[in-house]
């Protein structure tokens, strides 16, 4: 009843007749995931001083509208519009409609076909193994799949700022661009993609297949700009059995013309594969993840790197002890200088108490140790000692102890 009343309230706010919304089965939903704690930055290649500060963080809090309609013949039409709920950063983070998983589609015995903006099959595999985090301080928001950023600034985790390879006449290599040259979202392996078409098969014998294609709307012929044909696809197959206790998935991604030289010349196709899964033994739920990525570098040789992680959740009554350990290996390239010491390690441990299916509270500690050329951080951290930078600084470690609360509606 409360959700229906909330739907009517939203309908009024949007200027849409509430009764019409009720007839199409619109649902208002959301998740509030927030932490209060102390964050400490220590050391950096650039010589920044250490700093310790308190912060309130919002971990992907969101809200949205979704609905389904019976189309007959075994078909169901559906839609979802979801956006961020910054909560603690309304002064400097815009609330953009449909900024998160948002799409329209048709579902039936053949599976689910939809278009819009959604997480990739690669990213969807994280739900199979990432059982070891309290709140948002874990490897999925720091190391796993996180070599690239979503902005346009160079990222030391990808060695974007390396010198020109031998014989290139100053045409420096950019190992992994944050976004395509036209500014489109979607290159990072962990990121949802937009301007995309998706297919998810029905579950058969515990197996499901997923496919996503991000269109090449940024294609350029080269008449007035550098010729490029940026597009990507992501595919996965996953299996769950033993009542869901056992699960495993494999994903493959190919990202075309996202990596460029400093002059903006595309270097070809970046690619990667991931294997993720877990097993619930009853006394403990164990998750494992491995990722391998290759960034095409043409004459300077391919840059290769990998990440792996272990997660565990131990039930205590209806509550859990959760922990994770993750490693990002160095970017390997024997030609490009500066590709060493770009790795990092992360661990976290916490206790989660569940008051109900919707509300839980947790406490925990987490730390990332960066090598001299790496700047991994968690999403949503406060600025470091500069007071303005929260995008990661090479060689700077970061740690936090916190209290977390999650509620869903």
Name the strand (E) or helix (H) holding 249: strand 246-256
Q: What is the pLDDT of residues 331-365, one digit of tens each?
A: 776 444 555 678 899 999 999 999 999 999 999 99
Report pLDDT for 298: 58
Distance CA 255, CA 253 (A): 7
pLDDT over 80 (residue 205): yes
Comparison of pLDDT for 313 and 143, the residue scoring more: 313
User: CA 352 from chain center: how many Å?
Assistant: 23
222: buried, middle or exposed (CB in 10 Å: 19+, 13-18, 0-12)?
exposed
- Using a 10 angstrom Cβ sphere, with 0-12 exposed, 13-18 middle and 19 or more buried, the burial of residue 283 is exposed
Average pLDDT along the chain = 81
pLDDT by residue (tens digit) across 267-284? Answer: 678 889 999 999 999 999
CB atoms within 10 A of CB 189: 25
Closest Cα partner for 348 from 371, 378, 328? 378
Architecture of the domain defined by 37-61+110-408:
Beta Barrel (2.40)
Mean pLDDT score, 240-255: 93
Rg from Cα positions in the chain: 22
| Distance between CA atoms of residues 353 and 317, nearest Å | 10
Please, what is the Cα angle at 404 between 291 and 147, to 5 degrees? 25
Taking the CA atoms of residue 202, residue 208, residue 209 and residue 211 in that order, the dihedral angle to the nearest 10 degrees is: 70
For residue 185, name the pLDDT band (cuts at 50, 70, 90).
very low
* Sign of the alpha-carbon dihedral angle for 243, 244, 248, 251: positive
- The tokens describing 229, both together, are 């044909």
How would residue 31 be classed by pLDDT, with cut points 50, 70 and 90? Answer: very high
Entry field: residues in the chain? 409
SS3 128: helix
The pLDDT tens digits of the residues spanning 47-91 come to 888 999 999 999 989 999 999 999 999 999 999 999 988 887 655
For residue 365, give both structure tokens. 């500690």
In the three-class reduction of DSSP (H, G, I as helix; E, B as strand; rest coil), residue 355 is classed as: coil
**Cα atoms found within 13 Å of the Cα of residue 64, Cβ hemisphere only:** 20
pLDDT of residue 27: 94
| Whole-number Å distance between alpha carbons of 49 and 66 | 47
Alpha-carbon distances of 166 from 155, 212, 262, 295, 339, rounded to whole Å:
22, 37, 14, 18, 15
The whole-number pLDDT of residue 163 equals: 40
């Amino acid at each position: 009843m409360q959700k229906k009343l909330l739907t009517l309230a939203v309908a009024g706010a949007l200027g849409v007749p509430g009764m019409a919304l009720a007839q199409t089965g619109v649902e208002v939903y959301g998740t509030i995931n927030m932490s209060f704690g102390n964050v400490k930055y220590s050391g950096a290649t650039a010589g920044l001083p250490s700093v310790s500060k308190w912060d309130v963080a919002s971990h992907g809090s969101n809200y949205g509208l979704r609905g389904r309609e019976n189309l007959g013949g075994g078909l169901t039409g559906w839609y979802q519009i979801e956006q961020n709920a910054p909560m603690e950063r309304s002064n400097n983070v815009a609330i953009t409609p449909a900024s998160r998983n948002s799409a329209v589609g048709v579902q039936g015995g053949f599976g689910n076909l939809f278009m819009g903006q959604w997480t990739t099959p690669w990213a969807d595999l994280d739900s199979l193994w990432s059982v070891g985090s309290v709140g948002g301080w874990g490897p999925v928001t720091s190391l796993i799949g996180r070599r690239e950023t979503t902005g346009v600034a160079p990222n030391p985790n990808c060695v974007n700022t390396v010198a020109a390879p031998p014989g290139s006449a100053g045409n420096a290599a950019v190992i992994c661009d944050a976004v395509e040259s036209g500014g489109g979202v979607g290159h990072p392996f962990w990121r949802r993609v937009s301007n995309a078409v998706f297919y998810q098969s029905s579950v058969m014998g515990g197996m499901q297949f997923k496919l996503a294609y991000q269109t090449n709307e940024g294609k350029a012929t080269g008449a007035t700009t550098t010729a490029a044909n940026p597009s990507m696809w992501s595919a996965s197959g996953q299996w769950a059995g033993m009542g869901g206790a056992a699960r495993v998935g494999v994903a493959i991604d190919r990202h075309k013309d996202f990596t460029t030289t400093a002059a903006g010349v595309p270097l070809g196709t970046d690619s990667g594969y991931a294997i993720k899964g877990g097993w619930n033994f009853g006394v403990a739920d164990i998750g494992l993840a491995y990722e391998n990525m290759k960034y095409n570098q043409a004459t300077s040789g391919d840059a290769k790197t990998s990440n792996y992680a272990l997660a565990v959740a131990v039930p205590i009554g209806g509550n859990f002890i959760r922990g994770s350990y993750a490693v990002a290996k160095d970017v390997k390239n024997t030609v490009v200088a500066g590709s060493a010491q770009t790795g990092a390690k992360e661990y976290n441990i916490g206790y989660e108490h569940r008051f109900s299916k919707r509300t839980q509270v947790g406490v925990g500690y987490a730390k990332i140790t960066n090598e001299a050329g790496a700047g991994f951080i968690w999403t949503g951290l406060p600025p470091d000692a500069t007071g303005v930078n929260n995008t990661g600084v090479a060689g700077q470690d970061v740690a936090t102890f916190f209290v977390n609360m999650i509620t869903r509606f």
